[in-house]
Amino acid sequence: MDDKNSCDGDSGGPLISIQGNQHILLGILSFGTDCEALRNNTKPKTAVYTRLDFYQQKLNEIIGWKNENFDGFDFSDL
């Protein structure tokens, strides 16, 4: 991720992957690290995301949302 990370206040933001001309929504930020510590390299750079593929079936049932791009996506590269 080119040494970039999320900070406090970014919760709810997207984690996307750009595949060609498509932006694939992969996750939603649950929490990031303290920004001041991140700038000073005094804490490990931590960000925790909710993986949407895990909830895709339920999202489809409730709101009819299905992301075809999840099929075959390799999350181990993240």
Does 40 map to a domain? yes
Does 2 map to a domain? no
- The confidence band for 70, taking pLDDT boundaries of 50, 70 and 90, is low
Does 46 map to a domain? yes
Mean pLDDT of the chain: 76
Does 6 map to a domain? no
Question: Which pLDDT tens digit goes with each residue over 32-58?
Answer: 777 777 777 777 677 888 888 788 778
Residue 6 CB coordination number (10 Å): 22
**What's the total number of domains in the chain?**
1
For 42, the domain range is 14-70
Mean pLDDT of 55-74: 71
Does 26 map to a domain? yes
Does 9 map to a domain? no
